Amino acid sequence: MENSKITHDFRDALRVPDIRLFIGSVGFFTLASRALAVVIGFQIYKITHSALALGWLGLIEAIPAISIAPFGGYVADRVNRRTILLITRAVSCFCTLVMAVISYETHGSSLFGLYAMIFLAGVARGFADPANTAFEAQVVPKRLTVNASSWISCTWISCSVIGPACIGFIFAAWGAAGSYFVITAGFILSWIFTALIPPKNQEITKSGDSIFRSIAQGWHFVFKNQPLWTAMMLDLFSVFFGGAIMLLPIYASDILHVGAKGLGLLNAAPSLGALITTLLATRHPPIRHAGRNLLSAVAGFGISIIIFAFSKNFTLSIIALLLTGAFDGVSMVIRRSMVRLLSPDALRGRIASANWVFVCASNELGAFESGMIAALIGTVPCVAFGGIVTLGIVGLTAAFAGQLRGLSFDIHTMERKIKNPPFPF
């Protein structure tokens, strides 16, 4: 009975200095990296006037990030994770400084240099993402996992909106070179916040296994743990098929007829919805019935996508996109907490790297898939098809993934509670 009277303050995680520093590190890095994506895309289009050049840009960044992530997880379990973050943040600073210098050139010969720096930044990301996820578990006490995850997610989402919005005005005033210097300042601040976090004890994996065998251990743990791999697959396919962000310019121009200002609001709506639910999660963690809540959130995401697909009313479209973000925010908090709570410390880096491979594949490859399918069958059928497929995947997962469906955590101890026996596959 006493446990039921225990209350949680939504500021619990913010009372821990190391968590505040970690949130600052994540926030400034997100501001800088999201702003960088806007500036490099606009600059390359100005140089080439080619949509294909933009496609190459996404591929050049995605290939190293996805291919190196497994090795990044291996390194994160054998090298101090804080050190990895300090090195990769420094590499990001170097890349943007070089891009600022290159941007003083006005000829197309600078294009190769810009691509090269983006590739190097992608390599750094392949090592940084797994290390950052694993380092979070060292910074955040287990009892504050969900509360801290909600604050970190809120920070990430907020900065994902603020960074691109602000850099547009900076680009207009100071050009590409000035923008890169501002972005570099963001990376430097992220480095400083990371450096201010005291070194943490880390269980360093020591094994005579080969690097590939060691990496395979992380993937083996993921696929041996049904809640982990089914949650990752659920997110992969829902974003891969259900993502509509890449097609929003078509909706704004040809379907809703709201122009550039309307496009900005359409882009902001999902992030606003996600921000609202992640803030609510700081007070009401959705982890008590994690599996059930995750399945419900992804189903809600699919229904919202279908509503948006057929909507020709701007207000209804905004509401539908707001709901997609709200449901995705719930999913984000639950999946982030699951990776933290279900991973042994010795394998955290490798498990985090597997998760990042799923995330990168769903985002980058999902955008490519949306463009291809829309070109074949049309924009509205493409988006509606994605929502329907998402609902089908939720149904299959709910039917066959018994361990995920019954996954639950004690809201006070964060220990896993086994409620239902697994269904056989």
List, in sequence order, the alpha helices (H) in 49-109. 51-76, 81-102
Q: 179 near 171, Cβ under 8 Å?
A: yes
Structure pTM? 0.68
Tell me how far apart the alpha carbons of residues 199 and 79 are, in angstroms, rounded to a whole number: 13
Write down the domain spans for the chain.
1-204, 216-425
Q: 103 near 43, Cβ under 8 Å?
A: yes
Q: Check residue 52 and give its pLDDT.
A: 58
Measured between its terminal Cα atoms, the distance across the chain in Å is 38
Tell me how far apart the alpha carbons of residues 352 and 85 are, in angstroms, rounded to a whole number: 14
CA dihedral 271, 273, 279, 281 (to 10 degrees): -120
Question: Nearest-CA neighbor of 366 among 252, 246, 271, 269?
Answer: 246
Q: Check residue 82 and give its pLDDT.
A: 93
418 three-state secondary structure: strand
Extended beta strands in 52-182, E state: none
Q: Is 113 exposed, middle or buried (0-12, 13-18, 19+ CB in 10 A)?
A: middle
C-alpha pair distances (Å), 420 with each of 296, 401, 403, 414, 416: 18, 11, 7, 18, 12
Q: Check residue 241 and give its pLDDT.
A: 73
Q: Is 316 exposed, middle or buried (0-12, 13-18, 19+ CB in 10 A)?
A: middle
Count of CB atoms situated within 10 Å of the CB of 203: 12
Tell me how far apart the alpha carbons of residues 341 and 410 are, in angstroms, rounded to a whole number: 11
pLDDT at 1 over 50: no
Mean pLDDT of 386-391: 89
78-108 pLDDT, tens digit per residue, is 889 999 999 999 999 999 999 999 887 655 4
Q: Most confidently modeled of 14-28, 68-82, 351-365?
A: 14-28
Q: 223 near 354, Cβ under 8 Å?
A: no
pLDDT at 207 over 70: no
pLDDT at 425 over 50: no
pLDDT at 19 over 90: yes
- The CATH class given to the 216-425 domain equals mainly alpha
149-192 pLDDT, tens digit per residue, is 778 888 888 887 788 777 777 877 888 889 899 999 999 999 99
User: Tell me, which fold does domain 1-204 have in CATH?
Assistant: Growth Hormone; Chain: A; (1.20.1250)
306-337 pLDDT, tens digit per residue, is 999 999 899 999 999 999 989 988 888 888 78
What letter does residue 361 receive in the DSSP assignment? I
pLDDT at 421 over 50: no
**Same-fold call for 1-204 versus 216-425:** yes
The helix (run of H) or strand (run of E) holding residue 137 is: helix 110-139
Question: Nearest-CA neighbor of 338 among 133, 160, 184?
Answer: 133
